[in-house]
Structure 1
Amino acid sequence: MTNSPVRKPKLRRVGKNPFDFDEGDPLFAHTLSLEFEKKRAKKLLKARKESGDTNTKLSDIQFELARQHGFASWPRFKAHIEQAKIEMQAVETGTPTALDGDKPTLHIRCGTDIKQALEVGGFQGDFAGFFDPFVMGPVSSTQTLEDHLEIRAKFLDNAGWVNSKKALKNHQNHYRELEKSRNYSRVALWFEHDSFDVLILAYLLNYFSDPAKRPGQLQFICITGYPGVQQFNGLGQLPPQALRVLWSWFEQVSEPQLALGCKVWNAICSPSPVPLMEIIATGTPDIPPFAKALKRHLQELPCLGNGLSLVEKITLEILKQQGPIKAGLLFGQYSKSEPLRYLGDTMFKTYVENLANAEHPALTITSVDASDAPFDASNWFRSHTVSLTQIGHDLLADQKNWLEMGVKDRWVGGIKIKPAEPGWRWDFKNDRPVYSDSEPTSPSSSVGTR
């Protein structure tokens, strides 16, 4: 198999691309200047000396600045700035070299958000989007692939995202593309640190742990930020030149990393959170972002006291503070409040609707536009207002339990939440899952029993 020919980018000027933001936006990827950082270091040193510090040297300040940007040393920080400048110039010429042109390459990402940026950045390898949202709905390691696809397609249909027939076809195409990866000399996995990405990356590492399915070379990134970006949400916000820089950050997937992926995926599919907690306790040194993302995943268990997941709790707290607001503003406020952002607008819409559709709703959704298109998420967010009900206020005051408000069954990975039955909860006070062996409002016993 050979790579697709280089396509001429339609977008030339870096500042006009959809993956760029206004300079004042915290999502904007600022171009770092070596000259500015040198002057900054000297100013900081001068301020230190004027305050009576005679021991600090210029090299100490430079090291501090490098560490602030995520680099182990000043020379590495300098090298990054110089490389970023070169890559920006390459993109601005409109004819950047193909960094992946040395061998047939497949780029895999949990979505299509970087596809255009890769093209503009000169990458000529093929692209496959693999984006089954494992953070929501049931997953299981005991099913055949066919059963797995049926279960996931049914969930997407029930969530109102896409009808099951179309969802099944889309999933079959995604998994079929995955099967083709062994025909490439190199597969590059582009991921970041949130639970949406991490769960999919764990699935892929589990998949590629089978040597028969593995390409000649398997490499990945799972990054937590990018130099010059104040608020890093994900790879999709980065311009083409940044993706070119990131190409040098890729590492070959090791056997311990494949083993971690297998272990994590099996734990995600488990009906108990205990296996995941055991993995989280290790700090996952082979892939450090895993531990935090997996813990955030488990925080979607109903919490002790009011039975809300963390997303639900944050959403209701915003409505309590802000009062009735447009759904789009609510999503924006949620995104700012989320400790490890991972939900897109469509997934958040599902959470909001679930809070409104219970027998005793925690919030109400009011349409302000009768022509609203039911499956157009962006239009829905513009045309609906969300308000907190008295039930919502009572939940936040721990006077009611959400699991007793007539809510539907739901899943956190392989853990099924059946509201009227005993089950797993998240204890925010002790930062761990606990098993409730009685009614939702009754005392609970924990993993280590409490």
Structure 2
Amino acid sequence: MEHLVRTAQELPLLSDSDIALNLTSLKMNAKALRDAVRSGDPAALQRVLTRHPRPHSLDYASFKLADAQCVVAREAGLSSWPALKAHIANMDAARTDIEENRPAPDGDLRTLHIRCGNDIELGLKRAGFTGDFLMYSDPICQGPVSDLQDATRVRAEFISSGYPGEKLADTVSKLETMEEILAKAKDYQRIALWFEHDPYDQLLLIKVLARLKAVGADSRKVELMSLHCFPGITKFIGMGQLSPTALRHMFAKREAVSRGAYQLASQTWLALTAPTPLPLYELVAGQAPFLPYLRGAVLRYLAELPGLDDGLSFTERSALEILQNGPLPCGRIFRRFMQDIDPLPFHGDLMFYADLLRLMRAAVPPLQLLPQDGEAELRQQRFELTEAGRLLLNGDRDFATYGPAERWNGGVGCFAQPDWRWDRAKQKPVSKNG
């Protein structure tokens, strides 16, 4: 623990994106934008058209500073200039609290922080939090998911067989330990959940909430920090991008989990483990106000079912499309997919690599690993599209005819009877064979 704290102290309090939100420079930016719009600068006009809520009602010849400030604020990810100023003030206050070693933000109650990774553990320490930390990490957005007695063993076998470097015994031990800690979480005075908007986080969030409800944890002491973006971050992928100051600021905006969220989580967990994707789809077909990011996450998750037209998941098809113009190392395929293609990125590098390896394990593989000198790191291993892969992309074949490796999405066995697919046009699951 001493080493953890010592390492945490080395973290900068602010990220580059935090530092960029400097009120003085933003004011200058707004004035420059105002002047550029008045002079008819095309790039400036495009910024207004893209970001201003009422661009067609403006008089550009006498474009006002207030309208320029609105554009600058929206470019930073906030709704208005006053909201931008308030955010900067709140971040300054959070940074000052850390610098002056003021009381821990979670020090009033015995707190357990739960996160689906360890990416914010050091940040929380640096921000002055003193509560315990549980890394509740299991990529249930991939592979089989059930609530049966052997569920932990099944998950461990999936992870150790599909993710390079993961050993079965270690994985079983890790999963069992985190479940034991979660089962005792109700003994804490506060349970703080840190989960963002993507399928990895949202599916684990519903599992955690369902488990907490099952063991009798009072929803009134369960608090949620959840977000899909953060001011200043252009491409928000996860909470690991947040600085210690931002984490302290986020904690101040936490919300208590409602009974409705508890109930919705339990229903969603049951639907996730069902042998058909229809209950999960129907549950989020409307809005899910108690857990506002759940609908988008579930729809993105369901897009990992085999596609109706080609038998490829969204990720699989995207990877093959990236390789159309020639071989690439895994790291570049992954980076392109995460940054440019996936509308709701949730893959870790091992998860993505596992998807590529599963494609290779088909009797007729649509991609192949190129020979290389020595042992290359995963991200350096080069993949190439095969002719069978080109036929898939052209719509001339269905991946089911290629003898695909066994695959599960939650409780749904892929390429089984019925053969559940994702209809990309209608954005819904359908049975290919009726």
Shorter-chain TM band: 0.7 to 0.9
Kept in 2, the 8 Å contact 1:186–1:215? The answer is: no
Kept in 2, the 8 Å contact 1:187–1:215? The answer is: no
Kept in 1, the 8 Å contact 2:183–2:211? The answer is: no
Structure 1 residue 117 displacement after superposition = 1.1
The CA deviation string for residues 130-152 of structure 1, in whole angstroms up to 9 with x for no partner, is 011111111124x23xx221221
When the two structures are aligned, how many residues end up with a matched partner?
414
Aligned to 1:80: 87
Write the distance in 1 (CA, Å) between the matches of 2:294 and 2:85: 29
Question: What one-letter code is carried by the residue in structure 1 that aligns with 2:262?
Answer: L
Write the distance in 2 (CA, Å) between the matches of 1:30 and 1:277: 41
The CA deviation string for residues 209-264 of structure 1, in whole angstroms up to 9 with x for no partner, is 24623476110122101101111110012221111111112101111111221122
Q: 2:429 aligns with which of 411, 417, 433?
A: 433
Query: What are structure 1's unaligned runs of at least 5 residues?
Result: 373-378, 438-444, 446-450
Write the distance in 2 (CA, Å) between the matches of 1:105 and 1:403: 49
Aligned to 2:141: 135
Matched, 1:333 2:336: yes
Runs of 4+ aligned residues of structure 1 deviating over 6 Å after TM superposition are: 4-7
Overall identity of the aligned pairs, in %: 33
Q: 2:327 aligns with which of 313, 324, 328?
A: 324
Q: How does 1:60-75 map to 2 (within 5 A)?
A: 60-75=67-82
Kept in 2, the 8 Å contact 1:6–1:122? The answer is: no
The CA deviation string for residues 121-171 of structure 1, in whole angstroms up to 9 with x for no partner, is 211111000011111111124x23xx2212212222322452332221111
Kept in 2, the 8 Å contact 1:423–1:435? The answer is: yes
Aligned to 1:234: 238
Write the distance in 2 (CA, Å) between the matches of 1:370 and 1:388: 22
Matched, 1:405 2:399: no
Q: How does 1:202-241 map to 2 (within 5 A)?
A: 202-210=206-214, 212-214=216-218, 217-241=221-245
Question: What one-letter code is carried by the residue in structure 2 that aligns with 1:331?
Answer: F
The alignment yields a C-alpha RMSD, in angstroms, of 2.6
- The farther-off stretch of 167-176 and 325-334 is 325-334
Pair 1:356–1:319, CA change in 2 (3 A): same
SS of structure 1 residue aligned to 2:365: coil
Structure 1 residue 12 displacement after superposition = 4.2
Matched, 1:157 2:153: no
Aligned to 1:34: 23
Q: How does 1:168-179 map to 2 (within 5 A)?
A: 168-179=172-183
The CA deviation string for residues 35-84 of structure 1, in whole angstroms up to 9 with x for no partner, is 23334344444555666447875545544544454445543321210121
Question: What one-letter code is carried by the residue in structure 2 that aligns with 1:413?
Answer: G
- The farther-off stretch of 332-341 and 129-138 is 332-341
Write the distance in 2 (CA, Å) between the matches of 1:6 and 1:14: 13
SS of structure 2 residue aligned to 1:128: strand
With normalisation by structure 1, the TM-score equals 0.84
Write the distance in 1 (CA, Å) between the matches of 2:289 and 2:317: 31
Write the distance in 2 (CA, Å) between the matches of 1:429 and 1:212: 42
- The farther-off stretch of 428-437 and 70-79 is 70-79
Matched, 1:255 2:264: no
Write the distance in 2 (CA, Å) between the matches of 1:381 and 1:68: 33
Q: How does 1:306-385 map to 2 (within 5 A)?
A: 306-321=310-325, 323-336=326-339, 337-371=341-375, 379-382=377-380, 384-385=381-382
Pair 1:225–1:160, CA change in 2 (3 A): closer
Structure 1 residue 10 displacement after superposition = 2.9
Q: How does 1:72-111 map to 2 (within 5 A)?
A: 72-91=79-98, 93=99, 95=101, 97-111=103-117
Pair 1:251–1:153, CA change in 2 (3 A): same
Kept in 1, the 8 Å contact 2:113–2:191? The answer is: yes
- The farther-off stretch of 56-65 and 109-118 is 56-65
Pair 1:66–1:258, CA change in 2 (3 A): farther
Kept in 1, the 8 Å contact 2:365–2:388? The answer is: yes
Pair 1:71–1:435, CA change in 2 (3 A): same
Write the distance in 2 (CA, Å) between the matches of 1:213 and 1:11: 31
Kept in 1, the 8 Å contact 2:362–2:403? The answer is: yes
Write the distance in 2 (CA, Å) between the matches of 1:242 and 1:197: 19
Kept in 1, the 8 Å contact 2:156–2:168? The answer is: yes
Aligned to 1:416: 413
Question: What one-letter code is carried by the residue in structure 2 that aligns with 1:325?
Answer: L
Pair 1:381–1:56, CA change in 2 (3 A): closer
Write the distance in 2 (CA, Å) between the matches of 1:223 and 1:88: 20
